[in-house]
Structure 1
Amino acid sequence: MHLPPAGRAGKGFFFILMGPEGISRLHRAAPVVDAHCDTLSLLVHQTALRGEEAAGQVTPERLKQGGVNLQCFAVFVAPRHRGSYLRRALEQIDTFYRFLSLYAGELMPVCDRASLEGALVAGKIGAALCVEGGHVLEGSLGVLRVLRRLGVSCLTLTWNGRNELADGVLESGTGGGLTSFGREVVREMERLGMVVDVAHLAPAGFWDVLRLSRLPVIASHANARALCDHPRNLTDEQVRALAAKGGVIGVSFVPEFVDPEKPTLERVVDHIEHLAAVGGVACVGLGSDFDGTPQTVAGLEDPSCLPAITGALERRGWREEDIRKVLGQNFLRVFRDVWQ
């Protein structure tokens, strides 16, 4: 039988093999990873961590409905809280572990290769702890090492502005790359088995990281700038370079990064297809940014909607093996490569 080129399987081909119910079977069989959500920023202010009053977009039940195998939870402290970055980060880390203890039957903390495989084998939803913004380190490698011991397995080097590591994408008029401290952080992260996240990083810092790093890096939540000209999105040149390092880009569902005029499910899939066309299927994953903004993409309101992405890719003729890569295999590859 003649098979169409990789990526697409030809109109109707996949549907004939799978049938109308095959989308759900494929989604349930595939590993599903979401590389970014901001749920901890909501939960840290709640008096209860269970029940309707504590519910944001991301809940264990919705993760289960969406077939999620690994959810990355970001610790985000707004830069306006100068002087208390670390304390506020530790409060969110405490919230993370209290939340997991309430849902121990469904969720399992993941911070290294062994715990990742343990969660997958146990059939539980892995929960990985990430820090969004290197300002939380307050200029200390010692803080980085302590955070790693607390289970933090990924660090987004900057948020939108400048910190001790580098400039963020919205730091205007400077174009600053990695500082000396930023370079030390990247080297120490690789030694500790932590994933370097270049989302939010200004272009100069992005290129510095790619030149410095020995291991794959990720952009946990970013889209294609060719389709949506926002500074948070990546140019085709950046996509190709990150892919060449074995890295992965988590496609974000933030309407502003998808298409301000028509933020739809199909437009999200357009970003997936563009990134795959530019950097190859191996560089594309999911990084929803659920609970990070009150606006949502129609059809992707919470994790229970993730099977819709599988369905959309199937309708466009994608091969099963490539859908699996986008849904989670690509991020799992990087985590297995980097985590110790």
Structure 2
Amino acid sequence: MLKFIPLAIVLLLAAPAVAAEQSPEYQRALELLAETPLIDGHNDVPWQYRTRVDNRLEAIDLNDDTTELDPPMHTDMARLRAGRLGAQFWSVYVPPAYSGDEAVRIQLEQIDLAHRLIQRHDELEFVTTADELERSFAEGRIPSMLGMEGGHVLNNSLATLRMFHRLGALYLTLTHWQSHDWADAATDAPRHDGLNEFGKEVVREMNWLGMLIDLSHVSPAVMHDALDVSEAPVIFSHSSAMGVTPHARNAPDDVLDRLPDNGGVVMITIVPSFVNEELRQWGAERAAEQARLESLHPGHPDAVESGMDDWLEANPEPQADLADVVDHFDYIRDRIGVEYIGIGGDYDGITTVPVGLEDVSTYPALVAELIRRGYSDDDIRAILGNNVLRVMREAEAVAARMQSERPASDAQFEDFE
């Protein structure tokens, strides 16, 4: 009798997921995902290759089940297909710990890795325009674009920006976790109270190129400065709503309120502490307890570790779930409209995920929840990809106009000092 208990438990746990996949909402979600490309704004698989296997493409095969790796990954080809990914921005991230020429070199290596990764898989196709994306999706492939994360990689050079764009980078997140020579990060001390004059020139040159301006990670002052300067719609490639969860990485209300005039899109992310306030508060309390114990026990890491084990046992970590994520969709819809919402998972760039959104295969469950909450088919098509396609086309049109009006900028960083 006992030997059958584990199987019974497995079946019991699996039953809700099976029932969900058989629901009318889930089946309609699959139909909508077949019609409109789900454009995911941010996936960190390229950085997984760097940190795990030093960018050796042969060492990790996305045709295999990457849940078998230690630690498991969120992405592989089978799960991309199960999740009905219609297009993917692959992040070619470089940490802000690297600077100057070294940051430029690593950026080139990550762009090279992403190109080789896309070329390796017939199901993926490198694209750079909205028309190419739609054509590739219609042909049954997963259109793949590159997004740079952190303006420090420019090494204060517009020429470097232009060459990265020529190599296929379609967006640039203006900062990562740290402020740098021309822009302030949301999670670091400000150096410029927004963008300095060179930073504003970067935004203008990105408009000229048709490169999307990504405001995830930047300070609210940078968000406002970029919206003041940009002639094209902006994106948040992986952020949520500060009005729901007041995390520094989310978009504040006064910025959301400017998006209808700009036409930009917040690609809502699943990062647990960005979408669940109880979890955000728990993280702050955990960090405070860590600091307290380190102050009480200097030079005694074992005592600190033991104290933290006791604290964690008494204060278990809360869990975010799919409903928390969709609450952010509701908030932005109710405040400014569905026209300004997209999806930006941040899979393989995070270590924990919400319950119900464990990996890239779970996107149909997200869409099914939108259906359950009353979103119309047109609303969902807009959120999946039509909003981002509009942004891409508007950025392309702005670039065509600006390039007919002036050449590339000759400005140098030193001109603004």
TM-score, reference length from structure 1: 0.90
Does the CA-based 8 Å contact 2:92-2:148 persist in structure 1? yes
Q: Distance in 2 between matches of 1:19 and 1:167?
A: 42
State which drifts further: 294-303 or 52-61. Answer: 52-61
Does the CA-based 8 Å contact 2:96-2:177 persist in structure 1? no
Q: Distance in 1 between matches of 2:274 and 2:167?
A: 32
Show CA shifts across 1:160-211 (max 9, x none): 2111231000122656211121111111111111000111111111111101
**Residue 334 (structure 1) aligned with residue 391 (structure 2):** yes
2:306 corresponding residue in structure 1: none
1:78 corresponding residue in structure 2: 95
Q: Distance in 2 between matches of 1:61 and 1:86?
A: 33
1:31 corresponding residue in structure 2: 37
Please give the residue correspondences for 1:1-340 in structure 2 after superposition, counting only pairs within 5 Å: 21-45=27-51, 46=53, 47=56, 48-50=59-61, 51-52=64-65, 56-83=73-100, 84-103=102-121, 105-172=122-189, 174=191, 176-259=193-276, 260=279, 261-339=318-396
State which drifts further: 18-27 or 178-187. Answer: 18-27
- What secondary structure, in the 3-state scheme, does the structure 1 residue paired with 2:267 have? strand
Residue 114 of structure 1 deviates from its aligned partner by 4.3
C-alpha spacing 1:331/1:258, structure 2 compared with 1 (3 Å): same
- What secondary structure, in the 3-state scheme, does the structure 2 residue paired with 1:200 have? coil
Show CA shifts across 1:256-306 (max 9, x none): 101124411011000011011111110011011111111111111111100
Could you say which structure has the greater relative contact order, defined with CA pairs below 8 angstroms and 6 or more residues apart?
1
Q: Distance in 1 between matches of 2:25 and 2:65?
A: 37
Q: Distance in 2 between matches of 1:306 and 1:124?
A: 17
Q: Distance in 2 between matches of 1:115 and 1:49?
A: 28
State which drifts further: 329-338 or 247-256. Answer: 329-338
State which drifts further: 326-335 or 174-183. Answer: 174-183
Please tell me the root mean square deviation across aligned C-alpha atoms, in Å: 1.8
Q: Distance in 1 between matches of 2:133 and 2:37?
A: 12
Residue 123 of structure 1 deviates from its aligned partner by 2.0
Q: 1:253 corresponds to which letter in structure 2?
A: I
Q: Which has the larger radius of gyration?
A: 2
Show CA shifts across 1:283-336 (max 9, x none): 011011111111111111111100001110111121111011112211111112
C-alpha spacing 1:147/1:66, structure 2 compared with 1 (3 Å): same
What are the ranges of 5 or more consecutive residues in structure 1 without an aligned counterpart?
1-17
C-alpha spacing 1:20/1:252, structure 2 compared with 1 (3 Å): closer
- What secondary structure, in the 3-state scheme, does the structure 1 residue paired with 2:33 have? helix
- Percent identity over the alignment is 37
Does the CA-based 8 Å contact 2:264-2:391 persist in structure 1? yes
Show CA shifts across 1:84-135 (max 9, x none): 11111111111111111210x2000011244323312322101100100000
Q: Distance in 2 between matches of 1:175 and 1:275?
A: 29
Q: Distance in 1 between matches of 2:27 and 2:142?
A: 24
Show CA shifts across 1:214-269 (max 9, x none): 11001111111111111111122111112321000011110010112441101100
Does the CA-based 8 Å contact 1:44-1:91 persist in structure 2? no
1:7 corresponding residue in structure 2: none
Does the CA-based 8 Å contact 1:35-1:286 persist in structure 2? yes
- What secondary structure, in the 3-state scheme, does the structure 2 residue paired with 1:69 have? strand
What are the ranges of 5 or more consecutive residues in structure 2 without an aligned counterpart?
1-23, 280-317, 400-417
Does the CA-based 8 Å contact 1:31-1:69 persist in structure 2? yes
Q: Distance in 2 between matches of 1:40 and 1:129?
A: 10
Q: 2:249 corresponds to which letter in structure 1?
A: R
Q: Distance in 2 between matches of 1:153 and 1:115?
A: 13
- What secondary structure, in the 3-state scheme, does the structure 1 residue paired with 2:258 have? helix
1:13 corresponding residue in structure 2: none
Q: Distance in 1 between matches of 2:390 and 2:272?
A: 28
Q: Distance in 2 between matches of 1:168 and 1:157?
A: 8
Q: 1:270 corresponds to which letter in structure 2?
A: D
Q: Distance in 2 between matches of 1:332 and 1:207?
A: 23
Does the CA-based 8 Å contact 1:113-1:336 persist in structure 2? yes
- What secondary structure, in the 3-state scheme, does the structure 2 residue paired with 1:266 have? helix
Q: Distance in 2 between matches of 1:206 and 1:228?
A: 18
TM-score, reference length from structure 2: 0.74
State which drifts further: 141-150 or 176-185. Answer: 176-185
